[in-house]
Amino acid sequence: MELEALFAEYRRQADDNASPQLTSNATLFDWVNEAEREAAIRASLLFDDTSSFLSIAVVAGTHTYPLDARIHAIENASLQLTAGGRPTDLDLVGMDKIQSDCDWKTKTGRPRYAVHRERLGLRLWPTPSEYYAGTLSLEVYRYPFEKMIALDDEPEIPEEHHLGLVDWLLWRTFSQKDGEQYDPGRANDALGRFEQRFGERDSADVMRRKRERSRVTTTYGGL
């Protein structure tokens, strides 16, 4: 659904078709990009296991690797050794898991755990030794690739969810206390519909716990 049609539906529901319009297209562009990002986060709508930035070269002696800023959450991490063999999955855990080892700062060997530290990157433990260099492959949920800036742009999330973004625009409109359309009741209704479709926003602590969940994985190739 192109933004021109999405904005038209918004203006119909917001009673904003008169001239001049109460909310400019420039403002709607800001809000619709915000809406798509929120939807992608809340409902994990943008799974990715093919983008080039999901393949990371792992070198001996380096334990932390930068991540692309578009990565929201890591679903799986596997290491393919340069020396050969089959890829092995890493357990996604929190820093407290690796810090429970008294030698966590200096221990080297085959990486078994990966910690997603948001903008600090991905921390492997143990630190890979020479034999365990290779390529790390990630499966992730991410944010949209590009911001929408033109009326013929379309949201990247699945098309069946496009109209749901209108509710975020309505919530933003009716929540502006200094605006002519301020209406707390309609704002709550719009946000309720958005949350019913995409879910409520997790707290920072809940998001951290999801990133740091410990999982049992199967190791292949005898490594």
Is 222 contained in some domain?
Answer: no
Question: Rounded mean pLDDT of 85-98?
Answer: 93
Query: What's the pLDDT band for 101 if we cut at 50, 70, 90?
Result: confident
Among residues 70, 66, 67, 91, the alpha carbon closest in space to that of 79 is found at 91
| Other beta carbons less than 10 A from residue 120's beta carbon | 12
Residue 73 belongs to what H/E stretch? strand 71-81
Residue 36 resides in a domain: yes
Angle (deg, nearest 10), helices 25-43 and 165-174: 120
Model confidence over 49-77: pLDDT tens digits?
999 999 999 999 999 999 999 999 999 99
What is the count of structural domains for the chain?
A: 2
Q: Residue 217: inside a domain, yes or no?
A: no
pLDDT at residue 223 in the model: 34
Q: Which domain holds residue 54?
A: 47-142
Distance CA 28, CA 99 (A): 46
In a domain, 221, yes or no: no
For residue 210, is it within any domain?
Answer: no
Q: Same structural domain for residues 51 and 136?
A: yes
pLDDT tens digits, one per residue of 150-183: 999 999 999 999 999 999 999 999 998 887 889 9
Residues 70 and 114 in one domain: yes
- Do residues 185 and 152 both lie within one domain? yes
Same domain, 68 and 121: yes
Q: Are residues 111 and 101 in the same domain?
A: yes
Among 124, 142, 160, give the residue marking a domain's end: 142
Q: Are residues 151 and 128 in the same domain?
A: no
22-49 residue pLDDT tens: 999 999 999 999 999 999 999 999 999 9
Q: Based on the domain organization, do 89 and 39 belong to the same domain?
A: no
* Res 121: pLDDT: 93
Measured CA distances, 147 to 51, 56, 140, 151, 177 (Å): 18, 25, 19, 12, 27
* Chain mean pLDDT for the chain: 91
Q: Are residues 31 and 99 in the same domain?
A: no
Residue type, 162: H
Is 206 contained in some domain?
Answer: no
For residue 55, tell me if it sits in a domain.
yes
* 137 in a structural domain: yes
Same domain, 54 and 121: yes
